[in-house]
Each structure stands twice: as structure tokens, then as C-alpha cells.
Structure 1
Amino acid sequence: MPQPILVPLTLADAASLFDFETENRAFFEATINARPASYYSPEGVAEAIAEACTDADGDLGYQFLLKEEDGRIVARANLSAVKRAHFQSAVLGYRVAQAACGKGYASEAVRQVLGIAFGELGLARIEADVRIDNAASARVLLRNGFVQFGHSRRSFEMKGVWYDRLHFECHAPCAAT
């Protein structure tokens, strides 16, 4: 069975990304804060992609799509808050289509984005945060070599409820000396 492949987000993905986001909107918004309503239109998605491309051109952040062989988007992954001087770090985020949950897509997206981050992007450290009640996401990170380094209390608010977050980090493999 062919592995899904992680590809950079481009304007050519606008229609399929619009479908992915609208089909999974309620699922995503059950656990993360909602995007602005203006995002959920073909124009809103195209504008967000253009902004993502500008961020990538400026080395500020990178967005990727995990696609099946037939081109179907099953997950997204991004590297945001890229810090170069003295840090060489970024923050990882990801989301998986509801119908694709539990099939290893999150782990595969994280595995592939780490390869890009530590390879062609030359980053040295990736951070990720997980709500304390999201054990599946924490397992994805641990499975991909992340280590928990912190726990912040009442640090994420959604719909008037405060949640704890767990903080994880992963470092680029060191070359043997």
C-alpha cells in the first residue's frame, strides 16, 4: 500500500483544501478554537493559502498537506513561529480529517514534517503543545521522538473553558563526532 505523502501547500490546492476544511469544520471546532467565518469560503481559503505561501517565502512558517495517492487530503501539518538566529526552532501543529482518525495519518504527517524540518529547513528544535485531554495527540508526538518538558495549567481557553496543556519538544539528530 503506498504511503501518503506530505506536500507543501499551494494555491492549486484551494478547492480540495476548501472541501477538507468545510467537511471537517464541526469536528475540528469541537477541540480547537474556530477559524473566522470568512475563512470558510473559496475566497477565504485561497487568501489563507496566499498568506501561507508568503510566510514560507519569508521563512516564517510552512504549511503542508498529507495526501493519499489519489490526491485526497487526509491531514494537515504546519511549522509556525519559525525562529532562526540562536534558536533554529518552530512550533508544530497538525489536524486529521475525522474519517481518517485512528489510521496512523497523524503519526505519518508528523514523521514526514520532522524530516523536512530537520533536513531541508535545517531546524534544530520543534515544539508542540497538546491539551491534557488529548491523549491520542500526545501518543503521536511520543511515537515520533518528542519528549514532554512541561505542563501549563489553565493556559488554553476555548468557549469559556480553560484547559491545561502539555508541552513537548523534539531535537534534530546530532551528527556523530
Structure 2
Amino acid sequence: MAPSHSTTIRIVKGSAASRAWMPRGGTSPASSICLPCASECRSVSSASNATAQEDASADRTYQFLVKRKEVIAGRVNLGGVTRPYFNKASLGYRIGERFAGDGYATKAVELVLSKARDDFDLWRIEATVRPENQASSRVLTRNGFAVYGTARRSMKLHGIWYDLLHLECHLRPSVRDADHSIAELGTASISSGNADSQI
């Protein structure tokens, strides 16, 4: 179930969001998802903010905070940005316990995927999830992710080994990319060096 209210998106650059406070306990129904600037998050230190700005400027990591009114409800990050040729990143997210089950993760991932495609020119987003984490698997599949593999005993948490599912989402090209690809097709020529070959 997605939040039925309007949403806005603003970026927190770098790793600052991963250290932001995560609220717990009950709350009234949510009113919006906002991914705010680091300066709006009182829990982000100036040193963390500097690192965050540096990570985004270097095209390494992009972090977003999910806000309900003035309360941080969670975070979404795109890390391990790999260019050129691949234009991919790894997705991670966490929604605070009191906001779970209200569609915040699904909507936040949707917004970040759109930003990844349109603003960061990323083509492929990868994610991992434990098979036991059905809620997170649903968030990913609702946003177009598909499983492409399983890593057996690949994560040790509290002394227990877990499998991880590897998922991928191929982002449709933005209008800018589609126009560029069409223009390239009109001017491209292919030569194999062999007069008898057909391409």
C-alpha cells in the first residue's frame, strides 16, 4: 500500500544518511515522504555532511532520507556507483520500525530509482536481500527488481550464516538517453572487415 499523499524529493549527499537517527515507537498516519538536504537533518554532524558532499561530488554514493513531517522515517542509498560502461549502483534502504507496512519503503525506492535514471544516468541497480526478509523482497519486486542469483552462506550475522538473494533492476533509458541512442543509430556504420559477412 503506497502513501496516498504527495511526495517530494531532495538529496542528502554521501554517507550522512546512514548515520542518521532512526525513530522507534508508534505514530499517527504519515503525511509525506521527503528526502531532505543534509542541512535539514540535525543529527548529521558537519564532518559527516562534508563526507556526504564529497561522496556525491565524486559520484561514489548518493544518500536520501525519508521524512514524515519533521521526523526521519528511513533512508535509501545508492552506493558503489560504477562507471563507465556499467552505470550501475547498489541499492540499500531501511525504514524505521514504526513506519513499516505503510508503503514508505516501496514509494521511497520508486522515487530514488526515478532519480537514479533521470538525474544520475544509472542503467542498472542491484540489491541483495535475505530470503527470510519477505517484506523487503516485496518492496524490490514491486519496483521492477528480479532475482538473478543466490549466494549461499554469504552473510554472517550474530554468528549465523545466511543466504542472500541477488536482485537487479534495469532502468528504462530516460528521454535524453533514448534521443541520443536514436541519433547514434542514424549515423552509425558497421564494418566487419569481411566482405562476405552480413550484420
Structure 2 contact 13–55 (Cα < 8 Å) conserved:
no
Structure 2 contact 13–63 (Cα < 8 Å) conserved:
no
Structure 1 contact 4–66 (Cα < 8 Å) conserved:
no
SS in 2 for 1:137: helix
Give the Å deviation of 1:138.
0.5
2:131 is the counterpart of 1:132 = yes
Give the Å deviation of 1:4.
3.9
- 1:50 aligned residue: 50
Structure 1 contact 7–66 (Cα < 8 Å) conserved:
no
Q: Equivalents in 1 of 2:51, 2:137: separation in Å?
A: 29
SS in 1 for 2:52: helix
2:89 is the counterpart of 1:93 = no
Q: How many residues align?
A: 154
SS in 1 for 2:86: coil
- 1:159 aligned residue: 158
- 1:62 aligned residue: 62
2:5 is the counterpart of 1:6 = no
The residue type paired with residue 2 of structure 1 is H
- 1:172 aligned residue: 171
Structure 2 contact 13–56 (Cα < 8 Å) conserved:
no
Give the Å deviation of 1:132.
1.4
SS in 2 for 1:49: helix
SS in 2 for 1:103: coil
Deviations 1:18-45 (A, max 9, x none): 4x33x45xxxxxxxxxxxxxxxxx8885
- 2:102 aligned residue: 103
Mind listing any 5+ residue stretches in structure 1 that lack a counterpart? 25-41
Larger fraction in helix: 1
- Identify if the C-alpha distance between structure 1 residues 173 and 161 changes in structure 2 by more than 3 Å, giving closer, same or farther: same
The residue type paired with residue 55 of structure 1 is D
The residue type paired with residue 153 of structure 2 is R
Give the Å deviation of 1:166.
0.5
Mind listing any 5+ residue stretches in structure 2 that lack a counterpart? 25-41, 183-199
Structure 1 contact 131–165 (Cα < 8 Å) conserved:
yes
- Identify if the C-alpha distance between structure 1 residues 161 and 145 changes in structure 2 by more than 3 Å, giving closer, same or farther: same
**RMSD across aligned positions (CA):** 2.5
- 1:34 aligned residue: none
- 1:141 aligned residue: 140
Q: Equivalents in 2 of 1:113, 1:160: separation in Å?
A: 33
Larger CA Rg, structure 1 vs 2: 2
Q: What is the TM-score of this pair, normalised by structure 1?
A: 0.77
- 2:187 aligned residue: none
Q: What is the TM-score of this pair, normalised by structure 2?
A: 0.69
Query: Share of identical aligned residues, percent?
Result: 41
